[in-house]
Amino acid sequence: MSESFDLIVIGAGPGGYVCAIRAAQLGMKVACVEKRATLGGTCLNVGCIPSKALLHSSEHFEETKHKLADHGVMVEGVTYDLARMQARKGEVVSANVKGVEFLFKKNKVTWLKGAASIPAPGQVKVGETTYAAKNIVIATGSESMPLAGVEVDEKQIVTSTGALELEKVPGHLVVIGGGVIGLELGSVWRRLGAEVTVVEFLDRLVPSMDTELGKQFERVLAKQGIKFKLKSKVTSAQKADDGVTLTIEPAAGGAAETLKADVVLLAIGRRAFTEGLGLKEIGVAQDERGRVITDAHFATNIPGIYAIGDAIAGAMLAHKAEEEGVAAAEILAGQHGHVNYNAIPGVVYTWPEVASIGETEEQLKARGVAYNVGKFPFTANGRARAMGDVDGFVKILADKTTDRILGAHILGADAGTLIAEIAVAMEFGASAEDVARTSHAHPSLNEAVKEAALAVGGRALHI
Ligand code: FAD
Ligand code: NAI
């Protein structure tokens, strides 16, 4: 047996690297195994960060070309340089992943390079070397979900990874799956000139979202030129030199039609990735979707083995993985780490953005909870008007009896930043009245949150 550690974390994504740093802060001797050439996992390398870099770049182009004239800023002959846009994205990723390497050095976390397996509880094997570990945290993340009949080659038929690397704007991009990846990356390529068609199995986009929000989101994206084929499923994809022919059927059955695409983005969800760890051999229990089963303290059924992030149940979000990483490290240090799953925001970084936290109206109705709704449109917000970004609204749901905030759903400019206020309010168990009585700077988009909170009590001031 080679060196021994208090904790070995497998996977250096937002769950794993944050867990390793927190454990080191708490005095543990920590190693983190990562098989990728760089740290940061899906999120920093091929997920959150590169997608946001391209979203920002393409939004700058869109704004300059189509929106600035409204403000009296006249720019002639606006073009873009895709190679530069992609190179910039690479620079952003590189700076971020190097940042994690710096943090590992600063916190004395050892990076074990290579693919890990767990030959036995208390042991982690990397290459030919086996290390001893008092505790092991599995943070191996997730991978794109495959679809029968649609074979990914990352050139003509791509996952998000290939869609972030395209060297040419496709004439027609067909996206399979109207979820977060499809709408964010569909927006990027639509802004750069692609015709974009989204094929979605269900009758609405981002189905986990509040229905009213989802419907308005669809209208806003349709106005931007994205086409939707809802209640439809792709049954096959035939590749040829000049593109891909998709066969599409109504989800409920019926006559098939074909759709020609230059590039197809398969984005129908992600699934837990635990391949090569040897979990079956040592008896770590997994559910029917391959996720590692854990208790409320991230412990698996095998003593000394824990799991966090996309590899376990729950929202597949970087900040959820990070919260779990911190909580798991604190629990291992004998503290009381805890994650409040009711207050984890979800954001779609399109323009306008969509942000959600807590329960939707549909969920509250299903649970039989009586609630009040406060809604405020951005058309009535002075700052949104000054910006020229008036699409969307803020909706706050509060318990009818106690006024405690149970959920909030925002479509609008900077919704992802606005939702943070509600996250803090919910962490503190705040009522809508608490938010309504808090002074919000004028003129700010945040005033729409205050007004929605006032509207819960039927007394919005500006509508
Ligand atoms: P991961 O980040 O997947 O990291 C797991 C790591 O483990 C990987 O680096 C992998 O190489 C490594 N690994 C796996 N097996 C082994 C092994 N046996 N040995 C060694 N190493 C191993 N979330 C957000 O919150 N906001 C966003 O804006 C956002 N945008 C996204 C955009 C895209 C295109 C995608 C695909 C995802 C996005 N996500 C976003 C989701 C987010 O990336 C994930 O929720 C997050 O990365 C999960 O973190 P994790 O640590 O659990 O796993
Ligand atoms: P998703 O779960 O968000 O959406 C998948 C969509 O595909 C759903 O609407 C589903 O109904 C649909 N679908 C499923 N099977 C289908 C089929 N056969 N044909 C047509 N449609 C089908 O998954 P997505 O977009 O792949 O993203 C994966 C994960 O990555 C998400 O869980 C998300 O949390 C995370 N992510 C988060 C981001 C963010 O926070 N901004 C950005 C990108 C990804």
Ligand 1: residue of 43, 137, 144, 281 to mutate (most ligand atoms within 8 A of CB) is 43
Question: What distance in angstroms lies between residue 349's CA and the mean position of ligand 2's atoms?
Answer: 14
Q: How far apart are CA 191 and CA 178, in angstroms?
A: 17
- At 104-157, the pLDDT tens digits run 999 999 999 999 999 999 999 999 999 999 999 999 999 999 999 999 999 999
Cis, bond preceding 119 (omega within 30 deg of 0): no
Q: Relative to the CA of 277, which ligand 1 atom is closest?
A: 18
Q: Which residues contact 20 (CB under 8 A, 6 or more apart)?
A: 7, 9, 12, 30, 31, 32, 104, 107, 109, 325, 329
Confirm or reject: Cβ of 10 under 6 Å from ligand 1: yes
Whether 333 has a pLDDT exceeding 90, the answer reads yes
End-to-end CA distance of the chain: 70
Q: Is 60 considered catalytic here? A: no
Stretch 244-273: mean pLDDT: 97
List beta partners, residue 129: 126
Confirm or reject: Cβ of 35 under 6 Å from ligand 1: yes
- State the pLDDT at residue 208: 86
- State the pLDDT at residue 344: 98
Q: Relative to the CA of 36, which ligand 1 atom is closest?
A: 11
Whether 203 has a pLDDT exceeding 80, the answer reads yes
Whether 2 has a pLDDT exceeding 90, the answer reads no
8 Å CB contact between 376 and 455:
yes
Whether 1 has a pLDDT exceeding 80, the answer reads no
Stretch 364-368: mean pLDDT: 97
Give the orientation angle of helix 82-106 with respect to helix 14-25, to 10 degrees.
Answer: 30
Stretch 373-395: mean pLDDT: 98
Question: What distance in angstroms lies between residue 43's CA and the mean position of ligand 1's atoms?
Answer: 5
Q: Which residue, among 217, 54, 219, 244, has the nearest Cα to 147 in the 3D structure? A: 244
Stretch 392-399: mean pLDDT: 98
Q: How far apart are CA 164 and CA 429, in angstroms?
A: 39
Give the orientation angle of helix 48-62 with respect to helix 82-106, to 10 degrees.
Answer: 140
Whether 459 has a pLDDT exceeding 70, the answer reads yes
Q: Which residue, among 324, 261, 423, 315, has the nearest Cα to 18 in the 3D structure? A: 324
Question: What distance in angstroms lies between residue 143's CA and the mean position of ligand 1's atoms?
Answer: 8
Residue 235: pLDDT band with limits 50, 70, 90: very high
Question: What distance in angstroms lies between residue 47's CA and the mean position of ligand 2's atoms?
Answer: 13
**Nearest Cα residue to atom 2 of ligand 2:** 269
Q: Relative to the CA of 115, which ligand 1 atom is closest?
A: 19
Ligand 2: residue of 54, 181, 351 to mutate (most ligand atoms within 8 A of CB) is 181
List beta partners, residue 463: none
**Nearest Cα residue to atom 38 of ligand 2:** 180
Q: Which of 66, 297, 338, 442 is catalytic?
A: 442
Question: What distance in angstroms lies between residue 38's CA and the mean position of ligand 1's atoms?
Answer: 12
Stretch 257-269: mean pLDDT: 98
Ligand 1: residue of 8, 9, 42 to mutate (most ligand atoms within 8 A of CB) is 42
Question: What distance in angstroms lies between residue 245's CA and the mean position of ligand 1's atoms?
Answer: 31
Q: Relative to the CA of 318, which ligand 2 atom is closest?
A: 40
Give the whole-number percent of the chain exceeding pLDDT 70: 100
**What is the CB < 6 Å shell around ligand 2?**
147, 176-182, 184, 199-202, 207, 233-234, 267-270, 315-317, 346-349
Stretch 167-184: mean pLDDT: 98
The structure's pTM equals 0.98
Region label for 383, one of left (φ > 0), alpha (ψ between -120 and 50) or beta (otherwise):
alpha
Question: What distance in angstroms lies between residue 218's CA and the mean position of ligand 1's atoms?
Answer: 27
Q: How far apart are CA 52 and CA 365, in angstroms?
A: 34
Q: Is the ipTM of this complex over 0.90?
A: yes
The DSSP string of 157-208 is EE-HHHHTS-SS--SEEEEE--SHHHHHHHHHHHHTT-EEEEE-SSSSSSTT
**Token pair belonging to 302:** 């095998």
Residue 37: pLDDT band with limits 50, 70, 90: very high
Confirm or reject: Cβ of 284 under 6 Å from ligand 1: no
Q: Which residue, among 25, 37, 1, 28, has the nearest Cα to 12 in the 3D structure? A: 37
- Please give the angle made by the CA atoms of 331, 335 and 336, to the nearest 5 degrees: 80
